[in-house]
Amino acid sequence: MVYRFLLLSDEVDNFKREIQISSQSTFLDFHKVILKATGYDPNQIYSFFVCGDDWSMQTEVTMNEMDTTSEEDSYIMEKTCLEDLITDERQKLLYIFDPLSERVFFIELREIITGKDLKEPVCLKSTGDAPQQFLDYNTAAMDINFDLDENFYGDDAYDDDEVNGLSSFDDEQFDDHF
């Protein structure tokens, strides 16, 4: 069987990738074709989540073995075939490409093509540029306009009488008050 997936981004409106891959391929094979279709750095941490109809994360598939309790199943990209966890059209997945900022691609299994097989996964359609893989926090911080002449608290000066009128609680007052 062949799976046809659609990848979308909530960051770039015109970004779309359509990928066909054998149902017997591993999540690692799927990961590699996504990297090739986006131009992302292969030396980063990535993971998939198989989701419910409401995009709630249910099953994680990671690049490396994670420490989990013996009660939880652990799925690794290299050892897990797509057909092991994905069996229905419209199945939803998240592909986390920037785990520090929790940025993802939304993936949906659009079609299951029976009676056909693929040796290599292929990106059938590529529209728009992929979102920037990592956010540049230094540039983002510089984009925020702070008026350094303005007092952060809103007043140019505080009134000494306001501060002197405040008293601190001693332990007895604190206990009596609360």
- pLDDT for the residue 176: 52
Position 28 in a domain: yes
Predicted confidence band of residue 8 (pLDDT cuts 50, 70, 90): very high
Of the chain, the percentage scoring pLDDT greater than 90 comes to 65
One DSSP character per residue, the chain reads -EEEEEEE-SS-TT-EEEEEEETTSBHHHHHHHHHHHHT--TTS--EEEEE-TT--EEEEEESS-----TTS--EEGGG-BHHHH--STT-EEEEEEETTTTEEEEEEEEEEETT---SS-EEEEEESPPPPSS--HHHHHHHS---TTS-TTS-SS--HHHHHT-----HHHHHHH-
Position 176 in a domain: no
Position 149 in a domain: no
Reported as a single tens digit per residue, the pLDDT across 30-56 is 999 999 999 999 999 999 999 999 999
pLDDT (mean) for 127-145:
71
- pLDDT for the residue 100: 86
Position 175 in a domain: no
Residue 139 phi/psi, 5° resolution?
A: -65, -40
Position 12 in a domain: yes
Position 122 in a domain: yes
On the 0-12 / 13-18 / 19+ scale of CB atoms within 10 A, 28 is middle
Q: What CATH number is attached to the domain comprising 102?
A: 3.10.290.30
Q: What is the mean pLDDT of the chain?
A: 83
Residue 16 has pLDDT above 70, yes or no: yes
Residue 19 corresponds to which tokens in the numbers above? 């990928």
Higher pLDDT, 177 or 129: 129
Residue 70 has pLDDT above 60, yes or no: no
Predicted confidence band of residue 169 (pLDDT cuts 50, 70, 90): very low
Position 152 in a domain: no
Position 109 in a domain: yes
- pLDDT for the residue 73: 77
Name the domain count of the chain. Answer: 1
Reported as a single tens digit per residue, the pLDDT across 101-135 is 889 999 999 999 999 989 999 999 999 999 998 88
Predicted confidence band of residue 92 (pLDDT cuts 50, 70, 90): very high
Domain that holds residue 39: 2-135
